[in-house]
């Protein structure tokens, strides 16, 4: 097959855009050249020639020479406008915007189908790990039952430093921001929202299910205290922010939450900014994929992988979605064991189907119990900042 020569129009030149420029320069083997880069602030100093930059998006979207638009901005609404106009103009699109994709997937699929252009987004999930391509190709004929793992490099970096290096949350958060692993507003990462977006995309490529992020339970790591870390150490646990989906018949459960896992668990050895994905299936059993989940070059390499694929006219076939069981649905009826730490009193024990353990002390209190995911997600007490929950694997 003959390779196509690509002319790239890039939106955004932050961490990922800079990473793409670096890996594109160093790779040398991809038949692609940057023609124009659209940015917000023209006067900001940048490491390449000013001739590449513009603040006028139409210079990219209307240029007939540019045949691939690479969307790398933070604003999901603006990103959708860029991506949709690009596809309407017959341009292939590569995106890293997991929020836009998770929230607007049906519209994006319709645009792709209507205008017959590829839309690729490997970089939107787990950066350097080629999980989407594997789910699309390798696992097409295998019976997947579960996909789980560490989908956010920023929070994994923070948790590793807190547990292994005994660094406080505010200090390590600042370090993560300085290294470019976390945004100046880290809410999407530390509250488990970013990996929830990624889980929505995983659900589509693993099982053919389209769902909205609002329908998936998430809980973050910002409430983890020294008390919780001491508990983990005493029980020989690691703490990881785990995103997980399970398929049972035509029902799928999914959530994203901090989780105690055994030190022998393979995911316990995935540290710092690395991500890890565990796939479980009927035939191949468990498989683990590990790669860097944060940083300019790891994410840039995933974008470059999509650009390289476009030189061969690659596109997702979405076979699982096309042949999905129409009765397949997301449910929140699973029961999970959780650790609940509280400061003073707790009066909602009736929400739990069982309580296995209780502990009170002048330094803090906790109990371990089993609770339905729907009950947990709808509870009011979970909003109390003095209460922390951690799932127990």
pLDDT above 90 (res 285): no
> Which of 180, 185, 171 is CA-nearest to residue 226?
171
- Provide the pLDDT for residue 55: 97
- Burial of 87 per CB tally in 10 Å (0-12, 13-18, 19+): buried
- Provide the pLDDT for residue 153: 94
153 is written with which tokens? Answer: 């490099």
- Provide the pLDDT for residue 9: 98
- Provide the pLDDT for residue 280: 95
pLDDT tens, residue by residue, 199-210: 999 999 999 999
Q: Dmax of the chain from CA atoms?
A: 71
Mean pLDDT score of the chain, rounded to an integer? 95
Per-residue pLDDT, averaged over 295-321, amounts to 94
pLDDT above 90 (res 1): no
Kindly name the residue from 36, 198, 244, 271 that is annotated as catalytic: 198
- Provide the pLDDT for residue 320: 94
- Provide the pLDDT for residue 150: 98
Cα gap 7→25, rounded to integer Å: 14
pLDDT tens, residue by residue, 101-153: 999 999 999 999 999 999 999 999 999 999 999 999 988 766 899 999 999 99
Residue 385 bears catalytic tag: no
Task: List the domains of the chain with CATH numbers.
Answer: 6-127+297-322 (3.40.50.720), 132-294+332-392 (3.30.360.10)
- Provide the pLDDT for residue 2: 64
pLDDT tens, residue by residue, 230-243: 999 999 999 999 99
pLDDT tens, residue by residue, 141-185: 668 999 999 999 999 999 999 998 899 999 999 999 888 788 878
- Provide the pLDDT for residue 45: 87
84 is written with which tokens? Answer: 């949709």
Kindly indicate the confidence band of residue 283, based on its pLDDT and cuts at 50, 70 and 90. Answer: confident
- Please enumerate in sequence order all residues whose Cβ is within 8 A of that of 351, keeping only pairs 6 or more positions apart, or say none: 371, 375, 376, 379, 381
- Provide the pLDDT for residue 3: 76
Give the rounded percent of residues in the chain with a pLDDT score beyond 70: 99
């Amino acid at each position: 097959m003959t390779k196509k020569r690509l002319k790239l129009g890039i939106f955004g030149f932050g961490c990922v855009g800079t990473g793409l420029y670096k890996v594109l320069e160093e790779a040398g083997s991809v038949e692609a050249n940057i023609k124009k880069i659209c940015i917000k602030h023209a006067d900001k100093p940048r490491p390449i020639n000013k001739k590449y930059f513009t603040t006028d998006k139409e210079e990219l979207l209307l240029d007939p020479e540019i045949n691939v638009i690479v969307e790398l901005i933070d604003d999901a609404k603006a990103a959708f406008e860029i991506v949709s106009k690009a596809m309407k103009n017959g341009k292939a699109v590569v995106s890293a915007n997991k929020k836009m994709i998770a929230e607007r997937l049906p519209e994006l699929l319709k645009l792709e189908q209507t205008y017959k252009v590829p839309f690729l987004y490997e970089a939107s999930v787990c950066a350097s790990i080629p999980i989407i391509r594997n789910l699309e190709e390798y696992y097409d004929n295998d019976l997947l039952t579960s996909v789980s793992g560490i989908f956010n490099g920023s929070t994994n970096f923070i948790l590793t430093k807190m547990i292994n290096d005994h660094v406080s949350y505010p200090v390590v958060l600042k370090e993560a921001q300085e290294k470019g692993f976390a945004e100046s507003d880290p809410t999407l990462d530390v509250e488990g929202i970013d990996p929830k977006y990624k889980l929505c995309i995983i659900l589509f490529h693993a099982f053919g299910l389209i769902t909205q992020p609002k329908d998936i339970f998430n809980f973050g790591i910002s409430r983890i205290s020294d008390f919780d870390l001491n508990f983990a150490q005493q029980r020989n646990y690691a703490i990881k922010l785990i995103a997980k989906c399970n398929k049972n018949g035509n029902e799928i459960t999914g959530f994203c939450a901090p989780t105690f896992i055994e030190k022998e668990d393979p995911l316990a050895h995935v540290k710092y900014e690395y991500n890890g994905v565990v796939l479980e299936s009927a035939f191949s059993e468990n498989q683990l994929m590990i790669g860097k989940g944060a940083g300019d070059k790891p994410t840039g390499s995933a974008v470059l992988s999509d650009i390289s694929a476009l030189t061969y006219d690659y596109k997702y076939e979405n076979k699982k979605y096309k042949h999905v069981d129409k009765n397949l649905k997301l449910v929140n009826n699973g029961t999970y064991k959780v650790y609940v730490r509280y400061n003073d009193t707790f009066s909602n024990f009736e929400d739990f189907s069982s309580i296995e353990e209780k502990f009170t002390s002048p330094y803090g209190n906790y109990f371990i119990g089993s609770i339905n995911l729907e009950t947990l997600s709808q509870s009011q007490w979970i909003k109390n900042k003095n209460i922390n929950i951690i799932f127990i694997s």
